[in-house]
Amino acid sequence: MTDTKNHGVDNAAGSLEGRVFRPASFAELAEAVELALDYRGDVTVSLKSGESFVGYLFNRNINGSESYLELLPSNSPDARLVRYDQIAAIAFTGEDTATGKSWETWIAKKESERRSEVERVAADAKARGIL
| CATH number of the domain bearing residue 35 | 2.30.30.100
The answer to whether residues 8 and 70 belong to one domain is yes
The answer to whether residues 71 and 118 belong to one domain is no
The answer to whether residues 82 and 39 belong to one domain is yes
The answer to whether residues 23 and 53 belong to one domain is yes
Q: How many domains does the chain have?
A: 2
Give the structural domain span for 23. 2-91
The answer to whether residues 65 and 126 belong to one domain is no
Encode the chain (131 residues) as per-residue pLDDT tens digits: 655 544 333 444 567 888 999 999 999 999 999 999 988 889 999 999 999 999 999 999 998 889 999 999 999 999 999 999 999 999 999 887 766 666 677 788 889 999 999 999 999 889 988 87
Q: What is the dihedral of CA 96, 98, 100, 105, to 10 degrees?
A: 160
Q: What is the pTM of this model?
A: 0.65
The answer to whether residues 108 and 80 belong to one domain is no
The answer to whether residues 82 and 111 belong to one domain is no
Q: How far, CA to CA in Å, does 14 sit from each of 7, 42, 47, 69, 131?
A: 14, 17, 26, 24, 49
The answer to whether residues 78 and 32 belong to one domain is yes
